[in-house]
């Protein structure tokens, strides 16, 4: 997630750094008691559960009891704010599903224990791997499937204007569900959604990264019901769902900020203090404690208060929500926002809790950093260092910078496509580099087609790399049409609507007939490679071998005992002659090849490859 510059909250922020009592900005005015998590399950591996109760002066409640076989109230915890109460429960492995009453002096709360989800032939928490092809969607900008939820009465942001990138546009989860067949046809196997949780903020709520309620899917996206329906429909079609997790911060109007449980719920400073965004301080052996603290505990933006994850109450709240999301909706994996800004010991604890409960689940973190050592520090690596991350993989910004250089810079000793070669040569630092997610652009960055100057050959070459390199490929929505856009003057310009996702759209690119010739060239390239890799053992799980680039020509192989794929990329400004003999170590046992993109067969003779063109060949004996 990148940095926004809204100023609407500055007046509120003057209060936030001054102490606990001024942080209590808003109090509950009724006797309603909210409970988090709102329900739980029997049969979970971890039998501990901490309930947060929130209601006016609830801490004054006396004689709190519950009576249900297998459920034990182990501890009642009071905190600074009397509007909160924390109950520590143990739910034994023999507990049966059902409901029970938590009895307070003036209130009884009904709590539901559901049976742990059974797959019934359809897996969940199944994870994504290098076999998958991910598609990233910003729900507000993809398709409007339910116009009745475009505006929701009572929410702070009542905008709905498609003629500006700064307001909501009305896309929702139903709109995504309506187009699952389109995604399957493209070759997509898993869908990563930008956050779906409620963002009841005054403006710029389309992106989803400022949570105000962890247990309520945003009503403008269709609410919890629509999320259930989307995940179930996706699973029925063999598609997985990746949820975007935000642990580091919440929105300024989150209920725990407006009515702070305790001063230590947030990272507090004498005056507003931003993070430095300098990830190097976390692993720098010479770093000052001051710099480490500001990087880790400084706020990401003024609109997003920074959670104190070393506080056990905060840690429990976040970890239980993560588990609850998987069990409630059947989520298959997590992309973790702003990974480097979290408390890293907390992240290890959170990751471990998820993996213990769901052994196949996938976790990958956003690591918008520069340098392979920087990036590898935050995931499982081969370093002998004091901090050892248990994160499986990362968003691989290093290969992104490298493919950008390969397409835009002239060939040099350490520049151009040599940057891509050198970056991949450093994979020895990762425990498993195939867990890294590779990509060309995302919701915070200029569209790759713009980055390469709208050169269609460069764009096609980069897509060939994306779908054949090591790692798990991710495509940002509408990139299948070579969409343009930059983040200046706003990131909203890389978050434009999918043409055809709204009833009033004059062009519908979900339909073949409304696409341009260029659209169909790009769409068909992706569709061909993405569907091919579904049955290609070499591309899905095979080994990787790369050759030193020569005069702008970069050649690499994906191979196993059953299959060998050869990829050649010409990043030179002139055509190049390619000889199979130069790669005899991998090509020597073959006599023919099949061009994956054209289905043409050929013999192993020299051929010419055009400037900035790539070719993908399956070698045949």
Residues of each domain in the chain carrying CATH 2.60.40.1180:
543-620
Mean pLDDT of the chain: 94
Q: Where in the chain is the domain with CATH 3.20.20.80?
A: 134-539
Give tens-digit pLDDT for 110-137. Answer: 999 999 987 556 789 999 999 999 999 9
This prediction has a pTM of 0.94
Q: Lowest mean pLDDT: which of 27-31, 211-215, 372-376?
A: 27-31
Which residues, in sequence order, are CB contacts of 11 under 8 Å at separation 6+? none
Model confidence pLDDT, tens digit, residues 128-187: 999 999 999 999 999 999 999 999 999 999 999 999 999 999 999 999 999 999 999 999
| Whole-number Å distance between alpha carbons of 139 and 512 | 22
Is it true that domain 134-539 has CATH number 3.20.20.80?
A: yes
Task: Give the β-pairing of 437-439 and 472-476.
Answer: parallel
Q: Cβ neighbours of residue 300 under 8 Å, at least 6 residues apart? A: 1, 3, 248, 249, 274, 275, 306, 338, 341
Decide: helix, strand or coil at residue 50: strand
Q: Are 473 and 441 in contact (CB under 8 A)?
A: no
Work out the burial of residue 192: count CB atoms within 10 Å of its CB; fewer than 13 is exposed, 13-18 middle, 19 or more buried. buried
Secondary structure (DSSP) of 394-460: EB-HHHHHHHHHHHHS---SSSTHHHHHHHHHGGGGBS-GGGSEEES--TTS--HHHHTTT-HHHHH
Per-residue pLDDT at 5: 41
587: confidence class by pLDDT, cuts 50, 70, 90 = very high
Residue 50's beta-bridge partner residues?
Answer: 88
Active site residue 147: no
Active-site annotation holder among 200, 366, 480, 491: 366
pLDDT of 17 higher than 70: no
What CATH number does domain 11-115 carry, 2.60.40.10, 1.10.3720.10, 1.10.12.10, 2.40.30.10?
Answer: 2.60.40.10
Catalytic annotation, pick one of 306, 337, 343, 618: 337
Which of 601, 610, 560, 557 is closest to 582 using CA atoms?
A: 557
For the stretch 349-358, pLDDT in tens is 999 999 999 9
Of 57-61, 247-251, 442-446, least confident by mean pLDDT is 57-61
Closest CA to 171 of 192, 138, 143: 143
Q: pLDDT category, 106, cuts 50, 70, 90?
A: confident
Instruction: Give the whole-angstrom CA distance, residue 111 versus residue 129.
Output: 37
Contact status, residue 502 vs residue 143, Cβ threshold 8 Å: yes
Per-residue pLDDT at 522 exceeds 90: yes
In DSSP terms, which residues pair with 242 in a beta bridge? 192, 333
Please state at what angle helix 456-466 crosses helix 517-534, rounded to 10 degrees. Answer: 10
Q: What is the pLDDT of residues 309-362, one digit of tens each?
A: 999 999 999 999 999 999 999 999 999 999 999 999 999 999 999 999 999 999
Could you tell me if 348 and 377 are in contact, meaning their C-beta atoms sit under 8 angstroms apart?
Answer: no
Provide the pLDDT for residue 121. Answer: 62
Alpha carbon 209 to chain centroid distance? Answer: 11
Catalytic status, residue 551: no
CATH 2.60.40.10 intervals, the chain:
11-115
pLDDT digits (tens, 9 = 90+) for 393-446: 999 999 999 999 999 999 999 999 999 999 999 999 999 999 999 999 999 999
Task: Tell me the average pLDDT across 439-459.
Answer: 98
DSSP secondary structure letter of residue 339 = G
pLDDT of 25: 37
State residue 62's pLDDT score: 87
Burial of 440 (0-12, 13-18, 19+ CB in 10 A): buried
Q: How many residues does the chain have?
A: 621
Going by C-alpha positions, the residue among 495, 615, 478 that lies closest to residue 554 is 615
For residue 46, pLDDT over 80 is answered with yes
pLDDT for the residue 22: 30
pLDDT at residue 123, as a whole number: 83
pLDDT at res. 119 = 59
569 CB burial (10 A radius; 0-12, 13-18, 19+)? buried
- For the cut 90, the answer to whether the pLDDT of residue 8 exceeds it is no
Q: Does pLDDT of 199 surpass 50? A: yes
Contacts of 507 (CB under 8 A, 6+ apart): 499, 500, 514
Q: Which residues of 521-541 are buried (b: 16+ CB within 10 A; e: fewer)?
A: bbbebbbbbbbbbeebbbbbe
Give me the CATH code for the 543-620 domain, please: 2.60.40.1180
């Amino acid at each position: 997630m990148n940095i926004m510059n809204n100023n609407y909250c500055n007046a509120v922020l003057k209060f936030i750094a001054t102490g606990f009592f001024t942080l209590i900005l808003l109090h509950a005015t009724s006797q309603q008691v909210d409970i988090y998590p709102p329900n739980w399950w029997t049969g979970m591996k971890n039998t501990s559960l901490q309930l947060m109760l929130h209601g006016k002066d609830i801490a004054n409640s006396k004689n709190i009891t519950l009576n249900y076989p297998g459920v034990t109230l182990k501890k009642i915890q009071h905190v600074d704010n009397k509007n909160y109460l924390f109950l520590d429960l143990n739910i034994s492995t023999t507990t049966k599903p059902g409901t029970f009453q938590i009895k307070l002096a003036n209130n009884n709360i009904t709590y539901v224990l559901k049976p742990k989800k059974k797959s019934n032939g359809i897996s969940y928490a199944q994870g994504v791997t290098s076999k998958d092809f991910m598609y990233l969607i910003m729900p507000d900008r993809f398709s409007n499937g339910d116009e009745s939820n475009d505006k929701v009465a009572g929410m702070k942001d009542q905008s709905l204007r498609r003629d500006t990138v700064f307001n909501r546009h009305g896309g929702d989860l139903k709109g995504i569900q309506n187009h699952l067949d389109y995604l399957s046809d493209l070759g997509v196997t898993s869908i990563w959604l930008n956050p779906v949780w409620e963002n009841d903020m005054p403006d710029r709520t389309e992106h989803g990264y400022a949570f105000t309620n962890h247990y309520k899917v945003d009503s403008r996206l269709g609410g919890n019901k629509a999320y259930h329906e989307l995940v179930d429909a996706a699973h029925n079609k063999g598609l997985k769902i990746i949820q975007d997790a935000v642990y580091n911060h919440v929105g300024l109007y989150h209920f725990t900020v407006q009515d702070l449980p305790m001063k230590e719920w947030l990272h507090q400073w004498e005056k507003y203090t931003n993070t430095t965004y300098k990830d190097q301080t976390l692993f720098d052996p010479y770093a000052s404690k001051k710099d480490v603290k500001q990087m880790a505990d400084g706020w990401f933006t003024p609109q997003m208060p920074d959670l104190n994850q070393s506080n056990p109450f905060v840690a429990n709240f976040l970890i239980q929500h993560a588990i609850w999301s998987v069990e409630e909706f059947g989520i298959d994996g997590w992309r973790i926002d702003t990974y480097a800004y979290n408390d890293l010991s907390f992240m290890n604890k959170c990751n471990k809790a998820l993996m213990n409960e769901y052994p196949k689940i996938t976790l990958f973190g956003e690591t918008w950093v520069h340098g392979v050592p920087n990036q590898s520090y935050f995931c499982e690596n081969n370093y002998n260092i004091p901090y050892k991350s248990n994160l499986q993989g990362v968003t691989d910004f290093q290969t992104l910078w490298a493919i950008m250089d390969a397409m835009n810079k002239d060939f040099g000793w350490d520049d151009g496509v040599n940057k891509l070669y050198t970056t991949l040569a450093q994979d020895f630092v990762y425990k498993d580099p195939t867990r890294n997610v590779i990509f060309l652009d995302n919701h915070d960055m200029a569209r790759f087609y713009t980055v390469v100057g709208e050169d269609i050959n460069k764009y096609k070459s980069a897509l060939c790399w994306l779908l054949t390199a090591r790692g798990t490929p991710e495509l940002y929505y509408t990139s299948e049409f070579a969409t343009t856009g930059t983040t200046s003057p706003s990131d909203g310009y890389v978050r434009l609507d999918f043409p055809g996702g709204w009833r009033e759209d004059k062009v519908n690119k979900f339909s073949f007939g409304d696409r341009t010739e260029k659209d169909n060239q790009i769409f068909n390239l992706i569709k061909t490679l993405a569907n091919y890799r579904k049955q290609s053992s070499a591309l899905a799980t095979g080994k990787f071998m790369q050759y030193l680039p020569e005069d702008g020509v970069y050649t690499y192989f994906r191979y196993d005992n059953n299959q060998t794929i050869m990829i050649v990329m010409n990043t030179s400004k002139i055509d190049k002659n390619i000889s199979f003999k130069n790669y005899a170590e991998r090509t020597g046992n073959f006599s023919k090849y099949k061009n994956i993109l054209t289905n043409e067969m050929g013999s192993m003779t020299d051929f010419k490859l055009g400037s900035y063109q790539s070719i993908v060949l399956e070698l045949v004996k």
